Amino acid sequence: MTRRRPHRVLAAVCAAAVLALAPAPPAHADAIRDQQWALAAMHTDRAWQTTQGEGVTVAVLDTGVDGTHPDLVGQVLPGKDLVGFGAGQGDPSWAIHGTAMAGIIAGHGNGPGRADGVLGIAPEVRILPVRVILESKDPARAKARKTRGTALAQGIRWAADNGADVINLSLGDDSESAHPDPGEDSAIQYALSRGISVVASAGNGGEKGDRISYPAAYPGVIAVAAVDEYGTHASFSTRRWYATVSAPGVDIVVANPDGHYYIEWGTSAAAAFVSGAVALVRAAHPGLDPAQIKKLLADTARDAPAEGRDDARGHGIVDPAEAIEAGSRLRPGELSARTATAGHRKRFFGPGPTPPPVADDPVNWAAPLAGGLGAALLAAAVVLWRGRNAPGHR
């Protein structure tokens, strides 16, 4: 294997590992699946007896998604670029993080019998890519920070209006200047009102003061903390009152547009797993609303803290199989809408949904998106394997 040095920048810049990639000698094809410990930890074998997510669309609001990747071919729908400039397909700083998250959610593998590559938690869902941020190494990032401050709010609304059933936000801001934004809060409430679940990473500030991260802290969001293979809270994962559940976020295998696979960590990966879990529940029980799904995940989480919930792991580790089973005993609309905001101590902004003004002025790119891959992103990587069918491989 070939290593690249971890690059970690949290707070107002980003927490992403987006360094130069180095080729690695070939490994056995099953090396990827052997290291996908998260699938077993989340009891996907049981959940897949009911569904693998067919008919559900997950919007990935991120840096873009490489729909030509062998593990994602056929899964990625036409999307939206709300940045409008920066690196394009084929550039080394394009769609790295977004592709990784899409693979966690919907990867179907590749090769004979699709036995190679990354297998996602919901391999039959469709991915709706919405580009709202640029990679940290993108030369146009500084320009985007000044001119695309409303991209996240616009992206949430666009996804809600264009077929999303679940919105994955593996991004955030946990800088000292982080604060709630009325446009983002309103957009999230708009999505929830349309029956769309919103999932976000809790933040990677566990060793940096546990500062509040947005969008995880907005009411109604399913905020996800990270655990390791042993179910232990990951030290980097932010401990805050808004944590709903936990999911794998350490030593996670991810796909990359360059044809390599990496092992990375972060609450962004944990959020992607939960978005996939929500998609499985939605596929099994399409009539349930976001409040019901959020409560289902909390009520059926395993390894719950002694008091039922804590700031480090929320209600415990998400278990989609248990949530699917419990969901069969619910009727649509059975729960009060209040459950969508359960666990939140504050109300940030008005009722929404009120469309925010569309402008190109620099409205706090550094807040929701300055983390780019932000408070929730992956921060260490190891090249694992270059697949025979990887793009550009001959």
The answer to whether residue 233 is catalytic is no
Tokens representing residue 231 in the block? 């179910």
Could you list the beta-strand ranges (E) of the chain: 2-3, 57-62, 80-81, 108-110, 116-119, 126-131, 166-169, 197-201, 222-227, 243-248, 252-255, 260-264, 382-386
Q: What is the rounded CA–CA span in Å between residue 71 and residue 74? A: 9
In one letter, which amino acid is 183?
G
| CA proximity to 181, closest of 155, 210, 149, 203 | 149
Catalytic residue selected from 197, 268, 285, 319: 268
In one letter, which amino acid is 12?
A
> What Rg do the C-alpha atoms of the chain give, in angstroms?
19
Residues recorded for the chain: 394
The answer to whether residue 62 is catalytic is yes
Q: Are 251 and 34 in contact (CB under 8 A)?
A: no
Kindly tell me the sign of the dihedral angle through the C-alpha atoms of 138, 144, 146, 149: negative
Q: Are 93 and 137 in contact (CB under 8 A)?
A: yes
Q: Are 160 and 198 in contact (CB under 8 A)?
A: no
DSSP codes joined into one string, 256-298: -TTSEEEEE--HHHHHHHHHHHHHHHHHH-TT--HHHHHHHHH
Q: Which neighbouring-strand residues pair with 126?
A: 57
- By the 10 Å C-beta count (0-12 exposed, 13-18 middle, 19+ buried), 234 is classed as buried
The answer to whether residue 97 is catalytic is yes
Catalytic residue selected from 69, 71, 93, 97: 97
Q: Enumerate the active-site residues.
A: 62, 97, 268
